[in-house]
Structure 1
Amino acid sequence: MFRHVDIGLLRSFVAVYESGSITAAANQLHLTQGAVSQQVKRLEQLFSCAVFERDRHGARLTNEGERLLGHARRMLRLNDEVWADMNAPAFTGEVRLGVPHDLVGTHLARILKSFAQSCPNVEISLTSASSVELQEALRAGKVELALIEEPAGEPGADGECLAVEPLVWVGCAGGEAYRKRPLPVAIVTETCVFRPRMFAALDAKGLPWRTVFENSSIEATSATVRMDMTVTAWLASTVPLDLQILDASSGLPALPDFAIKLCQSAMPLSAPAQEMARHIRAGYMDRLRQAA
């Protein structure tokens, strides 16, 4: 006999967990509190177990709820992907997207793959450059959309903040380059937005430094770090698994958080560019949910 899980029940379950209460989940889902409570109750009846422990502080997951959460998120994600794919208009044309060097091969790669699969008739024209150069490309109309990195909490580019991440020092796993003085530093490009914050932090701590390598290639920069010739600084989520994040025990100064923003040119976005923007937002939102 076939058994079916109601997607609506799972959506209410995940909403209660992510928002922290039935009241907040009801507001998020545009339902009454009673409706959300009833859906959670039906879910518990379906699996013959409690998924939440309720107290005066709100709702917390039980062990069974923890087991269900990952399954529920995957089913909701697939449901939403199927719905979007089957109802999406057939986009054609070109999207001109600008991306900082360090973000091209990270989480964004999966987002671009998803977009290419759902919009096979749209050509993606990708420009990889520093955030400073990408802002100029936006102003000149050379790209329609761009991801921009800038210090969190400071006035900067107009755009939608997708994520805030720590900037971290990176070295060779088990390496010694971080002990050298002056500190040998590799920078991808002279216009890198991380550069002034890195050197200001080193100067404030009185640590001498020198740039050993500057080249607009993330692969070349990575190579000098792997050879233990230099250290560098990247967003935490972009650090390759074979390299080491250098924490406070290294003696290097703390670095500021950086925001990743989705920015657009002054011209109205084409339909394919609007769809690309939607994919990028959804991809980053999905990443944040997975990290929760």
Structure 2
Amino acid sequence: MLNLHHLNSFVMLQQTGSFTEAAARLGLGQSTVTQHIQRLEKSLGRQLVFRDTHQVKLTAEGEALVGYARGMLDLNGKVASLFGESRLRGRLRLGVSEDVVASRLTSILEDFIRLYPLVDLELTVALSAVLYQMQDIGDLDLVLAKRHIGETHGRLLYREPLVWLARDPDHVLSRGDALPLIAFPPPSITRRVAQEALDREKMAWRIVCTCGSLSGLTAAARAGMGVLVQPRSMAPAGLKEIPADRLPVLEDVEFVLVPRRGADAALTEALSGLIMAQIAPQHQA
């Protein structure tokens, strides 16, 4: 009989590619996760994980096991929800800012649907300011988005610097005319921060591409159209950070969780707990 705790550690290790990160997300010690993997390998008589100083990868046997492991954990979650004492069910309307979706949402949703299979999740992806407007009129129960430094709404997850990005910083800065900006449409927080930083330094700028999708903005930046502003940890591949002495320093942004007053507290706290467990540890010193 396979141990579900061992399988859970195995699936989390596959998701994160790191014993340290898997342990942090599970709230366990790294040695405990290592023991879980070792015991799972012993019970199956197969090596499931390649380990070296640079990376953790699954063996062919490990890759074959992942699907079955997820299925067993999903089934266990459904049974626990049906017959457990705390059976969460209902509908939860989640709003997530565009840049978070591109980098972190998948693993959070995987854990949520495994643990709470009777909850129907309605997902909205939009600019942070738009999400707050939707929440104000009662259309969203929980929002994961950005806020300006100095604002106090929501539960703080972490603070992060914004950075200037371009495919070829030297080329885009050597044009000599107004700085070409690639940006979300108003009321984007990153757009406003970039414009205010340039205005303070009396630097000319112009919007050369506007798109509500981060994938669209990224494509424009990779094509060399101009400069994109993003949180440092969410910088898309293929773009380089422009050195701090070449353009004005951008203020930080904060990522927060904001539950709607009157929303189902059990549902919002269940998802908030998963988000806090996965995102916050990555940004702790």
TM-score (normalised: structure 1): 0.66
CA-to-partner distance for each residue in 1:65-89, whole Å, 9 max, x for gaps?
Answer: x9xx99933736998xx9xx67883
Corresponding letter in the other structure for 2:102: G
187, 199, 210: which one aligns with 1:203? 199
**In structure 2, do the counterparts of structure 1 residues 179 and 97 end up closer, same or farther at CA, with 3 Å as the change threshold?**
farther
User: Is 1:254–2:246 an aligned residue pair?
Assistant: no
Distance 1:282 1:78 in 2: 21
Residue equivalent to 2:238: 242
Distance 1:164 1:88 in 2: 37
CA-to-partner distance for each residue in 1:56-113, whole Å, 9 max, x for gaps?
Answer: xxxxxxxxxx9xx99933736998xx9xx67883422221111111111212332122
**In structure 2, do the counterparts of structure 1 residues 255 and 174 end up closer, same or farther at CA, with 3 Å as the change threshold?**
closer
Residue equivalent to 2:147: 150
User: Is 1:73–2:35 an aligned residue pair?
Assistant: no
**In structure 2, do the counterparts of structure 1 residues 141 and 244 end up closer, same or farther at CA, with 3 Å as the change threshold?**
same
**In structure 2, do the counterparts of structure 1 residues 77 and 193 end up closer, same or farther at CA, with 3 Å as the change threshold?**
farther
SS across alignment from 2:194: helix
Distance 1:209 1:121 in 2: 50
Residue equivalent to 2:277: 282
Q: Which ranges in structure 1 are unaligned for 5 or more consecutive residues? A: 1-65
**In structure 2, do the counterparts of structure 1 residues 206 and 97 end up closer, same or farther at CA, with 3 Å as the change threshold?**
same
111, 135, 150: which one aligns with 1:114? 111
Corresponding letter in the other structure for 1:217: S
Q: Is the CA contact 1:173–1:242 (under 8 Å) kept in the aligned structure 2? A: no
Q: Look at both structures and tell me which one has the larger radius of gyration over its CA atoms.
A: 1
Q: Which ranges in structure 2 are unaligned for 5 or more consecutive residues? A: 1-19, 37-72
**In structure 2, do the counterparts of structure 1 residues 185 and 94 end up closer, same or farther at CA, with 3 Å as the change threshold?**
same
Corresponding letter in the other structure for 1:112: L
Q: Is the CA contact 2:184–2:191 (under 8 Å) kept in the aligned structure 1? A: no
User: Is 1:184–2:180 an aligned residue pair?
Assistant: yes
Q: Is the CA contact 1:178–1:184 (under 8 Å) kept in the aligned structure 2? A: no
**In structure 2, do the counterparts of structure 1 residues 77 and 237 end up closer, same or farther at CA, with 3 Å as the change threshold?**
farther
**In structure 2, do the counterparts of structure 1 residues 194 and 77 end up closer, same or farther at CA, with 3 Å as the change threshold?**
farther
Distance 1:207 1:144 in 2: 40
Residues 122-141 of structure 1 aligned to structure 2 (within 5 Å):
122-141=119-138
Q: Is the CA contact 1:178–1:231 (under 8 Å) kept in the aligned structure 2? A: no
**In structure 2, do the counterparts of structure 1 residues 185 and 78 end up closer, same or farther at CA, with 3 Å as the change threshold?**
farther
Residue equivalent to 2:96: 99
Distance 2:206 2:128 in 1: 23
Distance 2:180 2:85 in 1: 50
SS across alignment from 1:184: strand
Distance 1:214 1:283 in 2: 31
**In structure 2, do the counterparts of structure 1 residues 254 and 242 end up closer, same or farther at CA, with 3 Å as the change threshold?**
same
TM-score (normalised: structure 2): 0.68
Distance 2:109 2:34 in 1: 17
